[in-house]
Structure 1
């Protein structure tokens, strides 16, 4: 398999192969909750003897879930899959690409980092056909294509990042009854939001209530919220 780096919207850690004969969690074709057409199509692709390296951010329980999904690809195609991660995966992927030893696929959540790698010629474009597939099959269509499009080292735009997993974060909830009672209007711009915040404070209220219960995590809810405000 050609050594190239393809990115989805992430090898300091030891790369571990999936078992050659994995016990699939759901038997293909028998569980009606799933659409098995893609799995049947994959069975037509013979990748026996090939190795697919994937580098991503998932560790612990999340890694276990990802491996459960990857087992279906391995079972259908015959390819050997080696998945690896690192606590500092954002820094590690830079080191690996610059050293000429990138994984075939990296999963990265930072568009800025993807742009930096693309501008240095370290990524392989996915092509117009893949971009068209995303446009035709993703609900947000062209916006997802735009999000995965970056300029290469020659300044030419290319589709480099396939949106694999998206999370909805930092939603702002409000009580319509309370707004109606106080005479507040839902803001449509950042400036209107700032004005409303000042008005609520002037009225003796507290404009924000932020949930930061992240268990044993390192405060990512607050980080995400601040990043959204900055963006």
Structure 2
């Protein structure tokens, strides 16, 4: 049974231990293991970079970005100066790369970020989770191609395959569709609003004022590009 706490990241009772301390929803983990074993046959080593992330962790990320303690980037990866942004522009800059607390798919346990650990380690560089790592000549390019061909066979898809004005493209982000769809159906803008009203979230006034737009554009990821969005490009 899916509870609203599972959707909002405040209840972790639906999770199991997965890999390297990461947790996933039970059916998602079983499917991931099957996919991981199949990939190993093709010499692709799928590892979890991030799995479940609770509300508290997402809130910390959000508040640090709002306060300027973490960098802000445009959808194309350009570093932004927070001092030059209006509160609304700062809001959208954060949401391009980081989910609103309570609105992250990582709360569900059905979504995970993956990478090819041995190939990344061969570069001598730390994993950054940037598109270039999954593009041609990147250490996770072979993984990216393998997922294009086979991820759907195991029930996974990539909800952020392309940037359409909402969340930036994330080729590393997988979602276990059978359960993720149930989570999304259990979600509502009203439930998220009620949750955020009780939290010490930076930018609360602008967040709540724009929550219906945020919900459509970033949480459902149904954003569309407009001229006004050019500052984030």
TM-score, normalised by the number of residues in structure 2:
0.23
Rg larger in structure: 1
TM-score by length of 1: 0.23
